[in-house]
């Protein structure tokens, strides 16, 4: 064995340190992107004067963040949204989440979400959504109502996580 590699069946194999380095860089970039998304969310929090504490998002697990207004029209999406759905922010802002739904998205599931939104309580729900390329995926939604000083719901925050089966 020498410094340049490892011995494997009497052959010198190069170390794959660049692979590890690239993976680490990718991980760091993802962390930085999530931190930037959380900072943008905090700015939205300040501008909209939400009373709802959103600090929990810093420790939550999610692939994407979505903020909708009280009519469920998308106002903002995190950078992770494109990675999960294939849609650019400009393609979904001003649209409802129906843009992500398709043939396997059941009416029962959509109605359950609508009913939960009316309770003014945070909730979780799994739904079949569709990527821009038409591929179906299961999305776990964690939805939190965001209230203003008059305790009126003005927006909803969805933490979205793809469920891999």
Tokens of 150: 């008059």
Q: Lowest-confidence range among 25-29, 52-56, 130-134?
A: 25-29
In this predicted structure, the answer to whether residue 2 has a pLDDT above a threshold of 50 is no
In this predicted structure, the answer to whether residue 24 has a pLDDT above a threshold of 90 is no
Distances (CA, A) of 89 to 27, 52, 54, 62, 65: 22, 24, 21, 17, 11
| pLDDT tens profile 41-86 | 999 999 999 999 999 998 888 999 999 999 999 999 999 999 999 9
Q: How far apart are CA 156 and CA 77, in angstroms?
A: 12
Spell out the domains of the chain, with CATH numbers in brackets: 50-163 (3.30.450.20)
In this predicted structure, the answer to whether residue 103 has a pLDDT above a threshold of 80 is yes
């Amino acid at each position: 064995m020498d410094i340049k590699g490892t011995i494997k069946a009497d052959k010198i194999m190069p170390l794959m340190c660049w692979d590890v380095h690239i993976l680490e860089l990718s991980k760091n970039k993802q962390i930085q992107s999530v931190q930037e998304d959380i900072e943008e969310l905090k700015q939205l929090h300040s501008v909209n004067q939400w009373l709802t504490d959103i600090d929990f998002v810093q420790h939550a697990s999610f692939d994407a963040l979505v903020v909708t207004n009280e009519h469920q029209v998308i106002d903002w999406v995190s950078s992770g949204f494109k990675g999960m759905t294939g849609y650019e922010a400009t393609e979904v802002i001003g649209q409802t989440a129906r843009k992500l739904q398709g043939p396997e998205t059941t009416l029962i599931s959509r109605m359950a979400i609508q009913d939960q939104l009316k309770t003014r309580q945070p909730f979780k729900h799994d739904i079949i959504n569709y990527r821009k390329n038409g591929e179906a995926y299961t999305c776990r939604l964690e939805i939190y109502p965001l209230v203003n000083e008059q305790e009126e719901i003005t927006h909803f925050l969805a933490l979205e996580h793809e469920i891999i089966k």
